[in-house]
Amino acid sequence: MDSATRSSKPSSNISDIVYRFAKVCRLRSVGVFSNENPNPNHHHHQNNICKKNGSNKASSDGTEDTECSDQKIHPQPTQIETHEDVAAIAVLKLFDTISALKLAYIELQEGHIPYSPEKIQAADDRIVSELKTLSEIKRSFKNISKPKSSSSLSGPILVEELQNHQFQLEKLQCQIQIKDSDILKLQQEVQELDRKNQELDSMIKQKALDEKRSQPKTFSHAFKAATKSIHDFAKPLISLMKASAWDLDLAVNSIEDSINYSKRSHKKYAFEAYLSRRMFHGFSIKYLSLDDILRFKDPFDALIEYPDSEFAKFCRSKYLLVVHSRMETAFFGNLDQRSFVLSGGHPRTPLYQAFVKMAKCVWVLQAMAASNDSKAEIFGVQRGSEFSELYMEDVVEDKDDTPKPNSKSRLRVGLMIMPGFKIGQTVFRSRVYLTS
């Protein structure tokens, strides 16, 4: 009958509750089994023997222990109550409490007719007690339903969270693809820049090689410009000396005496030699900046813009060395221009402006001599030295005035007009005036 009750399923909620309540409240039976023979027939037989021995008052305690010593009691395992069982008990208790509450309310009404304070107080206490019981049932039922409610809500929450993670993953994958595309583009740009850098490097090397090859040519231009500037400044200087009634022959002899000039006009080379000696006095091959000079068409503007530059100091010192105080007094009747230069100024006079142009060419030549990979070497030629076409050049341009080539070997150096330079294997010959 019990197995039939277990197998049948309740058809309604009330029968289900009653079924669960009966399941919880069912009495557990206790069986007695023998160690040697646990089968049901033997168990029933031994149970009868034990009962018979227990009812016999004449039997002693020792006999009972002997007869029942091989029998053991095996309790059936207690079934664990589930949430459904606890809920069924709570529902039954709820019904009982409601019924008790109704009875207490009826008793409360009966206490009023006839009026009985004792009955009213007792009914009131019972109502309060039942209400507390209802509150406890409500609280316990909430605790029972919490896990189920939590599990029922966790599913949609997990699905939503999973969808969010999936969305973030797709977003990150899209960003990774964009970054990969950017990286590929940057790599292509880097390759293009490397290619252009290689081209520029080749161009720079070629340009450096060309400049190295053209350095002697560039220095040659600077050398010729310096030579011409000295020649050009000698002209106004001689003109001022003539205008001041200077004795030119005496001035020429004071520069270099006992020179046999083939023509009187050749005495101008003595003044050029004088200017060359003064301008190249203390000449040192060192790095000099040309930025403050070459960007001005007129070098005098560079002095006005940078009155305390190295070039400005060079101009002041060389002017005081080239133009003697007696010459300036003879030219201008005073030393105002000299005093102005000594005070750090640069007078805007024709003589000083012409001098600045010559000073610029010598300054550039000095800077070019130091800028070459193979630094230039300056050399001079002493008076009386034998003429050498490898290191010397005759300044006389008129071929008719120049001695015949077969007789040049017997000529000697009378004046050195311009010192010579040597850069590597290239020689820039010294300009000299030859005498017999």
Q: Which letter does DSSP use for residue 324 in this model?
A: -
Cα–Cα distance measured from residue 130 to residue 124, given in angstroms and rounded to the nearest whole number: 10
With the C-alpha atoms ordered 142, 145, 150, 152, is the resulting torsion angle positive or negative?
Answer: negative
- Cα separation of the two ends of the chain: 161
Q: Which helix (H) or strand (E) holds 154?
A: helix 117-243
How many other C-beta atoms are found inside a 10 Å radius of the C-beta of residue 293? 21
Q: What is the dihedral of CA 312, 314, 317, 322, to 10 degrees?
A: -110
Q: Which letter does DSSP use for residue 436 in this model?
A: -
Single-letter amino acid, residue 124: D
How many other C-beta atoms are found inside a 10 Å radius of the C-beta of residue 341? 20
How many other C-beta atoms are found inside a 10 Å radius of the C-beta of residue 360? 25
Residues 6+ apart with CB under 8 A from 236: 350, 351, 354
3-state secondary structure of 392: strand
3-state secondary structure of 127: helix
Cα–Cα distance measured from residue 79 to residue 81, given in angstroms and rounded to the nearest whole number: 6
Cα–Cα distance measured from residue 409 to residue 392, given in angstroms and rounded to the nearest whole number: 12
Tens-place pLDDT, residues 124-151: 888 888 888 888 888 877 776 555 444 4
Across all residues in the chain, what is the average pLDDT? 77
With the C-alpha atoms ordered 416, 422, 428, 429, is the resulting torsion angle positive or negative?
Answer: positive
State the pTM of this model. 0.53
Tens-place pLDDT, residues 386-416: 999 999 999 986 444 555 445 555 789 999 9
Q: What angle do CA 333, 334, 340 make, to 5 degrees?
A: 140
Q: Which letter does DSSP use for residue 373 in this model?
A: S
How many other C-beta atoms are found inside a 10 Å radius of the C-beta of residue 426? 15
Tens-place pLDDT, residues 252-278: 999 988 888 989 999 999 999 999 999
Label the pairing between strands 430-435 and 392-394: parallel
pLDDT given at position 20: 53
3-state secondary structure of 359: helix
In terms of Cα–Cα distance, which of 415, 365, 420, 366 is closest to 389?
A: 420
Q: How far is CA 414 from CA 56, 82, 396, in A?
A: 171, 134, 12
Q: Is there a contact between 43 and 33 (Cβ–Cβ < 8 Å)?
A: yes
In terms of Cα–Cα distance, which of 236, 233, 347 is closest to 279?
A: 233
DSSP 338-358: HHHHHTT-----HHHHHHHHH
Cα–Cα distance measured from residue 148 to residue 84, given in angstroms and rounded to the nearest whole number: 11
3-state secondary structure of 393: strand
The pLDDT profile of the chain, 436 residues, written as one tens digit per residue, is: 344 444 444 444 445 554 554 454 443 333 333 343 444 444 444 444 334 444 444 344 444 444 444 444 445 545 555 666 677 777 788 788 888 888 888 888 887 777 788 888 888 888 888 888 888 888 877 776 555 444 454 567 777 877 888 888 888 889 888 988 999 999 999 999 999 999 998 888 887 666 666 567 788 899 999 999 999 999 999 999 999 999 999 999 999 888 889 899 999 999 999 999 999 998 877 777 787 788 888 999 999 999 989 999 999 999 999 999 999 999 999 999 999 999 999 999 999 999 999 999 999 998 888 876 667 889 999 999 999 999 999 998 644 455 544 555 578 999 999 999 998 888 999 999 998 7
